[in-house]
Amino acid sequence: MSHSSVMKTSSSSDSSRVLRWERHLPATEALVDLEDVSLNFVSYFDKTYSLKRAALDLLLRREAPMPTSEFWALRGVNLRIGKGERIGIVGSNGAGKSTLLRLMARIYPPTSGNLRIRGTVAPLIEMGAGFNPELSGTDNIMLNGAMLGIKRREMLEKVDGIFAFTGLREFADLPLKYYSSGMFMRLAFAIATEIDPDILLIDESLGAGDAAFVKKAKERIMGLLDRSNVVIIVSHDMNALREMCTRGIWMRRGQVAGDGPIDEVIKRYMQEEGPSPS
């Protein structure tokens, strides 16, 4: 990569240190470019609104309460990701990691800021999205291909390779609802990687397979990198992230608290938010 990088520590508004990797990747070279992106979830349920109160409101012909709570799951996120980068996203529960991935998959639009994604995106995000439990394995492969914008003929040529990689050929005609979660995960992973996306988004799912499959999956991710694809992984498995990623992004309360070499970011994250030694 042509851009240079410098590690810096600065102070954020909540006075905790923010680790930044000053990157000089021009916007034209970025496959993923987030500029001051924020995302707000509005809850349409007032949690204190009980059945009793609803009945009273109805009886007294009072207006039901308007949606009250809103929550910023992402705040002012700036990120630029270039070809060949393998990103590991770390952070505590609820920090915004999965939301960030869903935003990059264009499942959620940003509430404010700019999001630019260039190239094909294969999201391995949640088991279920893009799959139909009533259809066979083969039909689900075709369905996913259609959703990812792959031509039917092109996808048909990939079916064999997908079953070879997963070892699930004998289950090709079985409806997906009879697959175990491990089998399902294999299929989803094989589809997402077989189409050779420019950007592969993975949420935790790597941990779900048996050891042999996890090894094969890691090799495939490394192969994607050789072809300069971008791989972005959300995981709580620090060892897997150290092994597979080059750059770490640490999310804290919806904000980027650290961005830099994976080892450095994990070290700082564990120091500040990791389990305290007993």
Ligand X SMILES: Nc1ncnc2c1ncn2[C@@H]1O[C@H](COP(=O)(O)OP(=O)(O)OP(=O)(O)O)[C@@H](O)[C@H]1O
Residue 71 makes contact with ligand X by CB under 6 A: yes
Contact call for residues 206 and 233 (beta carbons, < 8 A): yes
Q: Of the ranges 10-18, 51-59, 93-101, 223-231, which one interacts with ligand X (CB under 6 A)?
A: 93-101
Site membership for ligand X, residue 65 (CB under 6 A): no
* Residue nearer to ligand X on the CB measure, 99 or 193: 99
Instruction: Look at the chain and count its residues.
Output: 278
Q: Output 105 or 162, the one with its CB closest to ligand X.
A: 105
Q: Taking contact as CB under 6 A, which single stretch among the options 3-11, 87-95, 116-124, 260-268 is the one that binds ligand X?
A: 87-95
Please enumerate in sequence order all residues whose Cβ is within 8 A of that of 203, keeping only pairs 6 or more positions apart, or say none.
97, 98, 101, 124, 125, 126, 233, 234
The correct pick among 4, 10, 15, 93 for binding ligand X (CB under 6 A) is 93
Dig out the tokens for 8 from the structure: 């810096």
Reading the block at residue 199, the tokens are: 């950007």
Cβ proximity of 109 and 91 under 8 Å: no
Residue choice 82, 88, 96, 260 for contact with ligand X (CB under 6 A) = 96
The side-by-side arrangement of strands in the sheet containing 230-234 is 5-11, 17-23, 255-261, 247-252, 86-90, 230-234, 199-203, 121-124
Q: How far is the CB of 277 from ligand X (least distance, A)?
A: 22
**For residues 152 and 242, which CB has a smaller minimum distance to ligand X in the complex?**
242
Is 75 near ligand X (CB under 6 A)? no
Task: Find the part of the chain contacting ligand X (CB under 6 A) among 1-9, 47-55, 94-102, 141-149.
Answer: 94-102
The neighbour count for residue 24, using CB atoms within 10 Å, is 10
Residue 88 engages ligand X in binding (rule: CB under 6 A): no
Residues at the interface with ligand X (CB under 6 A): 41, 71, 73, 91, 93-99
